[in-house]
Structure 1
Amino acid sequence: MTISTTTQAARGGLLAAALLLAAAIPAQAAPRQLLPDNWLYLTVTRGDARSSDTRGTLLMCDPPMGHTHATEACAELAAVDGDIGSLPAKDVMCPMLYAPVTVQARGQWSGREVAYTHTFANTCAMGARTGEVFALDG
């Protein structure tokens, strides 16, 4: 009878200790979102596909940062709900000089995946078609 009472007391003590330990361990915070809802990784490659002259940056829009012209680029993207192909073309005269530039955007806008790639004849044509979004040179 003593063994049974001692075993029950030990089990009760272990249970109490486990409950105290569980209460003492702080609850882990929910995983923090690393990127805002609207973000794009942008690259601009000058020259042909074999070129090593590639510049890139992460554009975040909540709040605008990570890009030389983040405020303007985010406003332009917000106006077309993140659809780069829908950005309105600016009425500018660009030289007929072939100096190709390829732009690429990968990321997320309003919960949708964004994947955009386009090659323009030159940086003037790129700027006329994409505004400040790919203006990475400052």
Structure 2
Amino acid sequence: MGIGASCADAQAMTNTHKATAAVRACLLTVCALIVAGSVPARAAAPPESLAGNWLYVTVTRGDARSSDTRGTLLLCDPPQGHAHAVRACEELRAAGGDIGRIPPKEVYCPMIYAPVTTSARGEWGGRAVRYKETHSNSCVMAARTGSVFALSD
């Protein structure tokens, strides 16, 4: 009976190790999905054949864990694909395609913390453009970036 009990214990231990390994694998998969889910959803990448000045712009409301991300492709030759394409392209042309050089508007914004993260990637004047910044709220975002990230009417 002692030998049979030892074999049963060994088999139970092996099954326990298999179950523990399976649980670990499931937990790692769930963690990976949670991390991937916290990354803003990306729309299809713009076609490689895009010519001229263009940016794929996104706005994420909330903190870094938020999934409230909206984005669109802003084309500037001719202006299209964006709710305020004409104005956004004018502002970008004046700033040489550098969002950080768009002159800030003189407005009074509430001191309410409701973070908004803006990002842009694309091409302007034959060079790659990369931009990302978190603003304290949407009023500050609009004052600092003009119409570039004004995705709704």
Please report the TM-score for the alignment, with normalisation by the length of structure 1. Answer: 0.75
Aligned length: 106
Contact 1:36 1:61 (C-alpha < 8 Å) held by counterparts? no
1:82 pairs with 97, 105, 109, which one?
A: 97
Q: Which amino acid aligns with 1:115?
A: R
- Note the residue ranges of structure 1 that are not aligned, 5 or more in a row: 1-32
Match of 2:71 in 1: 56
Q: CA deviation at 1:37?
A: 1.3
Q: CA deviation at 1:75?
A: 0.3
Match of 1:37 in 2: 52
Please report the TM-score for the alignment, with normalisation by the length of structure 2. Answer: 0.68
Contact 1:36 1:60 (C-alpha < 8 Å) held by counterparts? no
Match of 1:71 in 2: 86
Q: Which protein shows a greater Rg? A: 1
Q: CA deviation at 1:137?
A: 1.7
1:92 pairs with 91, 97, 107, which one?
A: 107
- The structure showing larger relative contact order (alpha-carbon pairs under 8 Å, at least 6 residues apart) is 1
Q: CA deviation at 1:130?
A: 0.4
Q: Which runs of 4+ in 1 moved over 3 A?
A: none
Instruction: Give the Cα–Cα distance (whole angstroms) in 2 for the partners of residues 80 and 52 of structure 1.
Output: 30
- Note the residue ranges of structure 2 that are not aligned, 5 or more in a row: 1-47
Instruction: Give the Cα–Cα distance (whole angstroms) in 1 for the partners of residues 120 and 93 of structure 2.
Output: 15
Please list the CA deviations of residues 42-82 of structure 1 after superposition, one character each: whole Å capped at 9, or x if unmatched: 00000011101000000000000000000000000000110
CA RMSD of aligned residues (A): 0.9
